[in-house]
Chain A
Amino acid sequence: MKAARQTALLIAIVFVLGAAACGGKKPPVARPMPPPPPTSGTNPSRPPAPPEPVAEPTIVPPEPVRADAITSASLDELNKNSPLKPVFFELDSSELSELSQKTLDENAALMKRYPSWTVTVEGHCDERGTAEYNLALGERRAIAARAYLVALGIPAGRVRTVSYGKEFPFDPAQTESAFSTNRRAHFVITSK
C-alpha cells in the first residue's frame, strides 16, 4: 500500500513539475530531487544518487518485494513464521480484547491481499482449565476469531476452526507467561 502511495506521489510531482516547466514565464529553477529513501541492503555511505530524469519516472512494480517472499514460500515455511499473527485470551475467556481485534484487522487485511488462502483457526487453552472443558473453550476462542474475520468481509468458507484444548501447549512451562502464550487462537494457512 505504501509503495502504491509513493508511486502516486511521484506521478503527481512529475505532473506538477511538467506543468510548471511548460506554462511559467519565469524559467524554472533547477533543483535536485531528494534522493530516494535508502532501500535495504544499500550502503549508507554511498554518495547521494543523482536526480532522476524528470521525464522518465521509474515504474514501481505493483507488489512490494516482501510480498514475493510470501508468495513464493511453501506452506510449511509460511506457517513456521506465519504472517498471520495469533490472538491471545484472558483466563477462562473467549472474548476478543482490543489488541486481539487489532491483530485480527491485520490478519484480515493480509487475507484480502491473498484471496486464495484458506486458513484454519486453532483454539488453544492453558493448563489451568480441565482437559475436557478446554476442548469446548478452545472451540469458543477459534469461533470468536473466525466470526470477527467473517464480519470484516472474509468469506466464511475460507476459515475453518479446530480446537485442541490444552493438548498442544506452545510453552509447556508452568508459568504465568507460558499460560498466557498458550491461551490463543492460532492461524495456520492450509492452502494458497
Chain B
Amino acid sequence: MTKAIIAGAIAVTLIAVTGAQQPASQQPPAPPPQQPSEIVTTISGEGGAPPRLAVPDFIPLSPDAETAAIAKTIGQVLWDDLNFEREFSFIPRDTYASIPRATSFTDVPFDRWRELNADGLVVGTVQKVGTTIKVEMRLFNVRTGQSAFGRQYDGTAANPRLFAHTISDEIHKTQRALNGVARSKLTFDSDRDGERMSGTVQNRSIKEIYISDYDGENQRRVTVGKTLNIAPRWSPDGRAIAYTSYRRGGANIFISNIFQGTLDEVTKGDRVGENWLPAWSPDGTRIAFSSTRDGNPEIYVVNRDGSNLRRITNHPGIDITPTWSPTGNQIAFTSDRTGTPQIYVVGSDGLNLAKRSSDGYCDRPTWSPAPYNEIAFSSRSGPGFDIRVIDLVTGRSSALTNGEGTNESPAYSPNGRHIVFTSTRSGKTQVFTMARDGRNVKQITRTGNNEKPDWSK
C-alpha cells in the first residue's frame, strides 16, 4: 500500500502503445489521435530463459546539468531495482558505450542492441517543465523494435529515484505479473545519533525509529523520544509505525502517524505492566503484543485505539514476539513453556495451540505473505544466531544464513521474496536484506547499531 503514498507525488500517464510502436526509421510519427490504451505486450527470453534487458541512462531533453544528473540517476536506479527481483538477466552497462546513444524514441539503433542479444530495451527521456520534471519511458521489444509498454510521469525533481522505483514496479507488474518492492520501505531502530539518555546512571545511548527506502536510500529519523524507541512495525497502509517506547518509564505500545506527525498511545493507564513488540493485524485494525499486565508475559490482542483487549495465551512461561498469519486467523509467537524459547502458532481466538519449531533457541517469528506459507525466525547456532525458515506444510526448517556474525530479527518484503534482518558480520549490528533463499545479501545501514527491522506491507 506504499503506492498510496506515492500516488500524489508522481502523476502517471499511460502512453498510447499503438502510437509508440515506431520502428527505427527516421519517419516522423504519424499523429493519430492518441488514446490511452492498456494494451501491453510481454517480452520473453530465448527458449524460456529470463528476458535479457538493457537499461541505458535516460536521455536528458533539457540542456541543464540537473536534468542530465536526473537522467543518469534514473537509469542506474532502475537497473538496480529491476535486478533486485532477478526476473530478468541484464546486459552489463559497461558494454553500452559501443552503441550510439539515442536522442529520442525514434532513433534507437535496434540492430546494434540485437547484436548484444538484448531481448528488451528500456529507453527513457527526462525533460524539465517549469518546476517539475516529465519522465517518459518505453520498454522496447528489441527483436520487433516495437514498444511493449510505455508510460509518462510528472513529478518533482526532489527525489528522482522515485521515478525509477515506479517504473520498475510497473515493468515487473506488466511483464512478469509480479508485485515489485521498489517503492516499499524499511523501518528499524538505531542509536546512530549518539544521543544519551538524560538523568540516568550509566552512559546510555538512546534509540530512535528510522525509515528508509527498500534499498537503504533516504534514511530518516521519525521519532524524538530521548529514550528507547524500539522494534518498529509498518501499518499495512504504510502510513503509521507501531513500536515499543520507554517514554513513560516502562515499556508501552505507541503508534506514530508519520505523515501527520501525531502520536497514539495504545497501552496506557495504571497497572498495565510492560508492553512490548506490537504487530499489526493484516487489516490494520488490531495489534497483537506481549504484556505483563496480569503478572507474566502473555500475548494480547487489542484494537488500534486501545479498546477491546483480549488475552490470547495463558501459561506461566514467557510468551512474546507475536506475528500474524496473512489471513489474520492465526498468531505465531515465541514461548519458553517447554524450557528454551520456541515458535508456537495459536488461533487469534486463543484456541488450537501448536509448537512449530524444534531448533535450539528460536525467536522473532515472522509469517511470510502468501503465496509462501512459511515462518522465518532467528535460531541459536553456536555462539550466535542464524535466520531459519520453517515450511508450514512440511514442517521442515532450513538455514538462510550460516554463521556470518550473529543474525536476528527477520521480516518479509511485501511480496515474500526477500527478507530484511540484522547481522553483526560487518562489525556493529546492521540491517541487511537478502532473497528468501539466502542469496543476494545487501547491507542497508552503516552507522551506529541498527536493529529490529520491518518491511512495509
In the complex formed, the residue of B with least CB distance to A164 is B228
Q: What A residues does B336 contact at CB under 8 A?
A: 133
Could you tell me if A136 and B201 are in contact, using CB atoms closer than 8 angstroms?
A: no
Shortest distance from the beta carbon of B289 to any chain A beta carbon, whole Å: 11
Could you tell me if B228 and A167 are in contact, using CB atoms closer than 8 angstroms?
A: yes
In the complex formed, the residue of A with least CB distance to B334 is A133
- A residues 93-145 with Cβ under 8 Å of B? 127-133, 135-137, 139-140
- Per the bound structure, the CA–CA distance linking A163 and B364 in Å amounts to 18
In the complex formed, the residue of A with least CB distance to B246 is A162
**Within 8 Å of chain B (Cβ to Cβ): is A6?**
no
Shortest distance from the beta carbon of A157 to any chain B beta carbon, whole Å: 12
Q: What A residues does B297 contact at CB under 8 A?
A: 136, 139
Which residue from A82, A133, A162, A168 sits with its C-beta under 8 Å from B341? A133
Shortest distance from the beta carbon of B318 to any chain A beta carbon, whole Å: 4
Shortest distance from the beta carbon of B427 to any chain A beta carbon, whole Å: 11
Could you tell me if B202 and A132 are in contact, using CB atoms closer than 8 angstroms?
A: no
Q: What A residues does B292 contact at CB under 8 A?
A: 139
**Within 8 Å of chain B (Cβ to Cβ): is A148?**
no
With contacts A135-B277, A139-B292 taken as known, whether A188 is within 8 angstroms of B452 at the C-beta atoms is: no
- Per the bound structure, the CA–CA distance linking A135 and B361 in Å amounts to 15
**Within 8 Å of chain A (Cβ to Cβ): is B250?**
yes
Q: What B residues does A160 contact at CB under 8 A?
A: 249-250
With contacts A137-B318, A162-B274, A164-B228 taken as known, whether A132 is within 8 angstroms of B334 at the C-beta atoms is: yes
Shortest distance from the beta carbon of A118 to any chain B beta carbon, whole Å: 12
Could you tell me if A132 and B251 are in contact, using CB atoms closer than 8 angstroms?
A: no
Could you tell me if A132 and B409 are in contact, using CB atoms closer than 8 angstroms?
A: yes
**Within 8 Å of chain A (Cβ to Cβ): is B320?**
yes
Question: B362-399 CB contact bits vs A (8 Å, 1 = yes)?
Answer: 01100000000000001000011100000000000000
Shortest distance from the beta carbon of A23 to any chain B beta carbon, whole Å: 60
**Within 8 Å of chain B (Cβ to Cβ): is A80?**
yes
Ranked nearest first, the 7 interchain pairs of A and B with the lowest CB-CB distance are A130-B363, A136-B318, A79-B201, A132-B321, A136-B297, A133-B363, A136-B320
In the complex formed, the residue of A with least CB distance to B321 is A132
- Per the bound structure, the CA–CA distance linking A140 and B318 in Å amounts to 9
- B residues 411-457 with Cβ under 8 Å of A? 451-452
**Within 8 Å of chain A (Cβ to Cβ): is B10?**
no
Could you tell me if B452 and A135 are in contact, using CB atoms closer than 8 angstroms?
A: no
Could you tell me if B202 and A130 are in contact, using CB atoms closer than 8 angstroms?
A: no
**Within 8 Å of chain A (Cβ to Cβ): is B33?**
no
**Within 8 Å of chain B (Cβ to Cβ): is A76?**
yes
Q: What B residues does A136 contact at CB under 8 A?
A: 276, 290, 297, 318, 320
**Within 8 Å of chain A (Cβ to Cβ): is B408?**
yes
Shortest distance from the beta carbon of B293 to any chain A beta carbon, whole Å: 12
Could you tell me if A131 and B250 are in contact, using CB atoms closer than 8 angstroms?
A: no
Shortest distance from the beta carbon of B91 to any chain A beta carbon, whole Å: 43
B binding-site residues for A, Cβ under 8 Å: 199-202, 204-205, 207, 228, 230-231, 244, 246, 249-251, 274, 276-277, 290, 292, 297, 318, 320-321, 334, 336, 340-341, 361, 363-364, 378, 383-385, 406, 408-409, 451-452
Q: What A residues does B341 contact at CB under 8 A?
A: 130, 133
Q: What B residues does A133 contact at CB under 8 A?
A: 318, 320-321, 334, 336, 341, 363-364
- Per the bound structure, the CA–CA distance linking A79 and B202 in Å amounts to 9
Shortest distance from the beta carbon of A139 to any chain B beta carbon, whole Å: 6
With contacts A167-B207, A167-B228 taken as known, whether A135 is within 8 angstroms of B409 at the C-beta atoms is: no
A binding-site residues for B, Cβ under 8 Å: 76, 79-80, 82, 92, 127-133, 135-137, 139-140, 160, 162-164, 167-168, 170, 186, 188
Shortest distance from the beta carbon of A43 to any chain B beta carbon, whole Å: 37
Shortest distance from the beta carbon of B361 to any chain A beta carbon, whole Å: 8
Could you tell me if B201 and A132 are in contact, using CB atoms closer than 8 angstroms?
A: no
- Per the bound structure, the CA–CA distance linking A162 and B228 in Å amounts to 12
Could you tell me if A167 and B249 are in contact, using CB atoms closer than 8 angstroms?
A: no
Q: List 6 contacting pairs A-B, 8 Å CB cutoff, sorted by A.
A: A130-B408, A133-B336, A133-B364, A135-B277, A137-B318, A162-B274
Q: What B residues does A76 contact at CB under 8 A?
A: 199
Q: What B residues does A188 contact at CB under 8 A?
A: 200-201
Q: What A residues does B408 contact at CB under 8 A?
A: 130-131
If A79-B201, A127-B406, A132-B364 are given as contacts, then 6 extra A-B residue pairs at C-beta distance below 8 Å, sorted by A number, are A92-B340, A130-B409, A131-B230, A132-B363, A136-B320, A139-B274
- Per the bound structure, the CA–CA distance linking A79 and B207 in Å amounts to 22
In the complex formed, the residue of B with least CB distance to A75 is B199
Which residue from B199, B204, B249 sits with its C-beta under 8 Å from A162? B249
Q: What B residues does A167 contact at CB under 8 A?
A: 207, 228, 230
Could you tell me if A162 and B383 are in contact, using CB atoms closer than 8 angstroms?
A: no
Q: What A residues does B452 contact at CB under 8 A?
A: 131-132
- Per the bound structure, the CA–CA distance linking A166 and B49 in Å amounts to 48
Could you tell me if A135 and B251 are in contact, using CB atoms closer than 8 angstroms?
A: yes
- Per the bound structure, the CA–CA distance linking A127 and B429 in Å amounts to 11
In the complex formed, the residue of A with least CB distance to B336 is A133
Shortest distance from the beta carbon of B85 to any chain A beta carbon, whole Å: 29
Q: What B residues does A127 contact at CB under 8 A?
A: 406
In the complex formed, the residue of B with least CB distance to A79 is B201
- Per the bound structure, the CA–CA distance linking A79 and B197 in Å amounts to 14
